[in-house]
Structure 1
Amino acid sequence: MAAATSPRPRWDSAIAPILRPLVRAYLFGYASAAGPRLLTLVLQHAARRRRDSKQTTTARDTPPAEPFLPALQRILLGPLGAQSFPAFCAALVGGTTFLELPLRSFFDRHAGNISAVARRRLSRWLASFIAAWLSLRLLQSKQTPSFTDVTAESGPDGVPQTIHYAGRTLDLTLLAVTRALDVIGGELWHRRKLRREAAGTWTRLDRAAARLADPALFALSSGLIMWTWIYLPSRLPRAYNKWISSAAAVDARLIAALQRCRDRTLLYGHDTNQAPLLGAMCADYGWPREWGDPARSVPFPCEMVHMGSGPSCEYHALARFAQSFRWALASYLPLSLLLAARSTTTSTTSRHARIRALRRAVLSAARSSAFLGAFITLFYYGVCLARTRVGPHVLGKDAAARQKIDGGYCVAAGCALCGWSILLENAGRRKDIALFVAPRALATLFPRRYGLEKQWRETLAFAASVAVVLTCFKENRGRVRGVMGGVLGFVFRE
């Protein structure tokens, strides 16, 4: 009889148990800060090598990029500072871990009139609150050029004044707030479900509401983001704005025309010197130049929105889906195949298991690509529905009605429709995608920079939210859903 093999010791088994969460949190923060930049550096370096090998004029005229090794050193050493994201993660988790026991001892001695469960929860909440407050203040103490201005006016000493702004940690705060609201809402809904099931009043409508909660959250969030991308692009992070523009593949002159319709710079039936904007687009696509003149064309034809796909809105929708599906598949498929290959590299993996993993990877990439393709298609077709198919029959066909449609109604229709493409994704991924997009949608409602005197409000919201999430996780780990639950499970595992 073969001897039983002893389990392999974990990588952190030599670390004291009380220090393990802190070390895991630091490593997670370092990987989050350095990993994406390292991948970007490798991809850029590989693309530059391919470009240089072709010896094109464009390549020779391109300004020299930062050498690979110095860039690698900067990326690897950058997150090691005391005010960095890894240090923030370690301070948050370590502070929560170290403060909980003394706080529980304090409440056991001085709050014996409340239950042991309440004392435990209170000590966990307060420990998390204090650690979150101090760790975020550590992250906020770092000054960056994008949140610093030098005024033209000199101070009393004759030196130009430097003004520092808050807001650098706003995305992190909104992520925490979103997760806290999800935890609270999920707990309240669970208790309601138990009461109604016990009373026999749990209905099909309740079950449908539970299934549609995540899709509805995504639809609302993505609609708000798309509205902001059209009309208030400065409220989106630059990288996020660039990615949406790449996925949408739209002529910037169309976006400018919609913006000017909304602020009434471009008026249908009036000559406000806006004809050159879309007139240049007509010249590029070979359309009659009068199509782009708002004084003569009320409104500009929907064929211009189709950008070369012909006059049919339905054909344009199909063409958009095919184009967007291919664009998304080029990104999703290599990543899915890489993950599948990683999970089947062991020698014990059978040939059939490898084939099944490959099939799942291809289907997953195709499904995600169909979701993104449908998102873009529904947005454009929503615009067409409001401009051509439905809007004129409801609001009218005169210049004033057309101004209202192109001044916001058509974009609102696209925003309302696009997010429901999430129903093409499997139910397990819907919650992760919805909770990923929701804080970014909330960020569009706030300025990217604000005065330092108001920063305490953000810190308070972050600390209270993190305290809710961590306390709930330690009481009921299944309540923190999705990727966040997995991260906390890795950090706080026994």
Structure 2
Amino acid sequence: MTPGLSPSDRQLIPPLRTSTRVRRSWDHGIPPVFRPLVRAYLLGYASAVAPRLLTLLLQHLTRRRVSQDGDKPHQSPSRSKSFITSLINILRGGLDWQRFPTFCAVIVGGSTLLQIPLKAAFDRLLKYLSDLTRKRLSRWFASFIAGWLSLQLLQSKESSGFTETVSSSSTSTKPPKTINYAGRTLDLSLFALTRALDVIGGELWARRKARRLSQGKHNWSPLEQAVSRLTDPAIFALSSGLIMWTWIYRPSRLPRAYNKWIGSAAAVDPRLIEALVRCRDGSLQYGRDIGQAPLLGGMCADYGWPLDWGDPAKSIPFPCEIVHMGCGANCEYHALSRFERSFRWCMATYLPLNLLLAIIRNPTRKSLARAFASAARSSAFLGAFIALFYYGVCLTRTRVGPRVLGKHAGARQTIDGGLCVGTGCLLCGWSIMIENAGRRKDVALFVAPRALATLLPRRYGLDKQWRETFVFAFSTAVVFTCVLENKNRVRGVLGNVLHTVLNP
């Protein structure tokens, strides 16, 4: 209010202009209908190129750090030239039209652009349906078509791992035949499938809850509370158990990088794993001398144990101290030592990353404390995972198994032939309960498709590829339609990313 002025005079004074400015997004100049396509392509390009650039940079810095002072002067320019060449190849490789960035642009751009003609067609042909139903149908079919075409784009690129050259017989004059296999996009298809199943399951559970509320039932039964609380941990426990079983007995069904990471975390002598594998397939049998003593005999020699410990004909079974690998005979102490070593190993990885993110986002004392707590919690989860796996093995071999099945050679063969490993696989995944509820769902949905992949062949005939394509397209249509209807139904980071990309 301006003092000394009448209400009529005040109306003549123009209002003050505020200094607030509307913050525009970086893509405000792009037509709204094309924004999802551009966002998807750039996000796909960044996710495809950034990890390779980071690896290249770390390798370059490592080479410079370990280079000796006696290097010739002309070697430094050649190193720099090689680094620049690799950098250009990585940046250029991301622009290949058969790679992930184009896939992202096709699946997102197609699902948004195709909605316009499909909606017009459904409005003309399906007038008896409500406008909302026609809109949902247009979204679903647009996403289905885009998912089908985008996956075929990735599948069209040949890969040496899915190509095999078969030579003709020596008497034949025909040239060698090249056979192409399908399966290189299997992990992506299983990821989409698990996400679609999660969306459908969540929607059914939400409708059940709404139906109970409409009936005046505001409290869950104890069983329903347990299902709601333990679904994500159970998914992770079953998935990680299946992955650990596959890692020991069928490692070829896991990606090479996955095998390498699990081996680094487990820190186990490969001879011990081989002994468990031979116990299962029957090539190592307790109480019989069939030439298997040198396998664990080498471990006994390396660790200073009696050589008879490694002879299955004399030692029934081989002592649990061999499983402990130098930590003594006590199984509980071994589990605690495994937890301590794994915790330190994980903290060396998680803590620097969490602190770096905290410094970039908001470098305050509270944010740094949260970063430390988050790193400690995740490290405790992985440490408990490894400790529970090993203790499950020892629990069956030493504490419980002999009391239930007996101590004769046949019982020992059954225990070491898969029962002890199975117990470890069942126990290890429940360490996810250490993590918070939000983290549990992300980890469970990350591991589940990898567990499903262990049940399927990594390569299969091209004549069956349409089945995988259909599953991927159907699953993508479910997820995309749901994220546009209710973004909270697509859980975790994926739901937030898809909502940001698909929102015009």
The TM-score range, normalised by the shorter chain, is over 0.9
1:185 aligns with 2:201: yes
Distance 1:276 1:66, change over 3 A: farther
Residue 4 of structure 2 corresponds to: none
Cα contact 2:487–2:496 (8 A) shared by 1: no
Pairing of 1:225-374 with structure 2 (within 5 A): 225-344=243-362, 354-374=364-384
Cα contact 1:154–1:160 (8 A) shared by 2: no
CA distance in structure 1 between the aligned counterparts of 2:213 and 2:235, rounded to whole angstroms: 25
Match of 2:62 among 41, 47, 64: 47
Matched residues, number? 480
Residue 184 of structure 2 corresponds to: 168
CA distance in structure 2 between the aligned counterparts of 1:2 and 1:322, rounded to whole angstroms: 63
Distance 1:54 1:167, change over 3 A: farther
Q: Deviations over 1:27-53 (max 9, x none)?
A: 111111111111111222222222224
Residue 87 of structure 1 corresponds to: 102
Cα contact 2:354–2:371 (8 A) shared by 1: yes
Residue 22 of structure 2 corresponds to: 7
Cα contact 1:324–1:372 (8 A) shared by 2: yes
Pairing of 1:383-462 with structure 2 (within 5 A): 383-462=393-472
**Amino acid in the other structure paired with 1:84:** R
For the residue of structure 2 that corresponds to 1:153, the secondary structure is coil
Cα contact 1:88–1:135 (8 A) shared by 2: yes
For the residue of structure 1 that corresponds to 2:167, the secondary structure is strand
The farther-off stretch of 199-208 and 381-390 is: 199-208
RMSD: 1.8
CA distance in structure 2 between the aligned counterparts of 1:28 and 1:157, rounded to whole angstroms: 51
CA distance in structure 2 between the aligned counterparts of 1:379 and 1:27, rounded to whole angstroms: 41
The farther-off stretch of 427-436 and 31-40 is: 31-40
For the residue of structure 2 that corresponds to 1:80, the secondary structure is coil
For the residue of structure 1 that corresponds to 2:481, the secondary structure is helix
Distance 1:272 1:165, change over 3 A: same
The farther-off stretch of 158-167 and 437-446 is: 158-167
Deviation at 1:195, TM superposition (A): 1.6
Q: Deviations over 1:92-112 (max 9, x none)?
A: 011111111111111111111
For the residue of structure 1 that corresponds to 2:168, the secondary structure is strand
Distance 1:55 1:381, change over 3 A: farther
CA distance in structure 1 between the aligned counterparts of 2:135 and 2:173, rounded to whole angstroms: 54
Residue 381 of structure 1 corresponds to: 391
CA distance in structure 2 between the aligned counterparts of 1:488 and 1:26, rounded to whole angstroms: 13
1:194 aligns with 2:210: yes
Deviation at 1:67, TM superposition (A): 2.8
1:141 aligns with 2:141: no
The farther-off stretch of 95-104 and 303-312 is: 95-104
Q: Deviations over 1:273-300 (max 9, x none)?
A: 1110000000000000000000000000
CA distance in structure 1 between the aligned counterparts of 2:65 and 2:276, rounded to whole angstroms: 39
For the residue of structure 2 that corresponds to 1:273, the secondary structure is coil
Deviation at 1:75, TM superposition (A): 1.4
Cα contact 1:154–1:161 (8 A) shared by 2: no
For the residue of structure 2 that corresponds to 1:445, the secondary structure is coil
The farther-off stretch of 163-172 and 1-10 is: 1-10
The farther-off stretch of 128-137 and 41-50 is: 41-50
Q: Deviations over 1:456-483 (max 9, x none)?
A: 0000000000001011111111100001
Deviation at 1:304, TM superposition (A): 0.3
CA distance in structure 2 between the aligned counterparts of 1:79 and 1:272, rounded to whole angstroms: 54
Deviation at 1:343, TM superposition (A): 0.5
Match of 2:142 among 123, 127, 135: 127
Give me the TM-score of the superposition, normalised by structure 1. 0.94
For the residue of structure 1 that corresponds to 2:134, the secondary structure is helix
List alignment gaps of at least 5 residues for structure 1: 346-353
Cα contact 2:167–2:175 (8 A) shared by 1: no
CA distance in structure 1 between the aligned counterparts of 2:409 and 2:169, rounded to whole angstroms: 52
Q: Deviations over 1:120-147 (max 9, x none)?
A: 1111111100010011001100001111
For the residue of structure 1 that corresponds to 2:315, the secondary structure is coil
Distance 1:108 1:217, change over 3 A: same
The farther-off stretch of 65-74 and 315-324 is: 65-74
Deviation at 1:391, TM superposition (A): 0.8
CA distance in structure 2 between the aligned counterparts of 1:66 and 1:150, rounded to whole angstroms: 36
List alignment gaps of at least 5 residues for structure 2: 1-15
Match of 2:227 among 206, 209, 215: 209
CA distance in structure 2 between the aligned counterparts of 1:115 and 1:159, rounded to whole angstroms: 61
Deviation at 1:88, TM superposition (A): 0.5
Deviation at 1:154, TM superposition (A): 6.8
CA distance in structure 2 between the aligned counterparts of 1:197 and 1:403, rounded to whole angstroms: 54
CA distance in structure 1 between the aligned counterparts of 2:86 and 2:391, rounded to whole angstroms: 44
CA distance in structure 1 between the aligned counterparts of 2:62 and 2:341, rounded to whole angstroms: 23
CA distance in structure 2 between the aligned counterparts of 1:235 and 1:4, rounded to whole angstroms: 61
CA distance in structure 2 between the aligned counterparts of 1:384 and 1:439, rounded to whole angstroms: 29
CA distance in structure 1 between the aligned counterparts of 2:69 and 2:497, rounded to whole angstroms: 44
For the residue of structure 2 that corresponds to 1:119, the secondary structure is helix
**Amino acid in the other structure paired with 2:493:** V
The runs of 4+ residues in structure 1 deviating greater than 3 Å are 53-56, 154-157
For the residue of structure 1 that corresponds to 2:283, the secondary structure is coil
Give me the TM-score of the superposition, normalised by structure 2. 0.92
Q: Deviations over 1:403-430 (max 9, x none)?
A: 0000000000000000000000111111
CA distance in structure 2 between the aligned counterparts of 1:190 and 1:393, rounded to whole angstroms: 46
Deviation at 1:24, TM superposition (A): 0.5
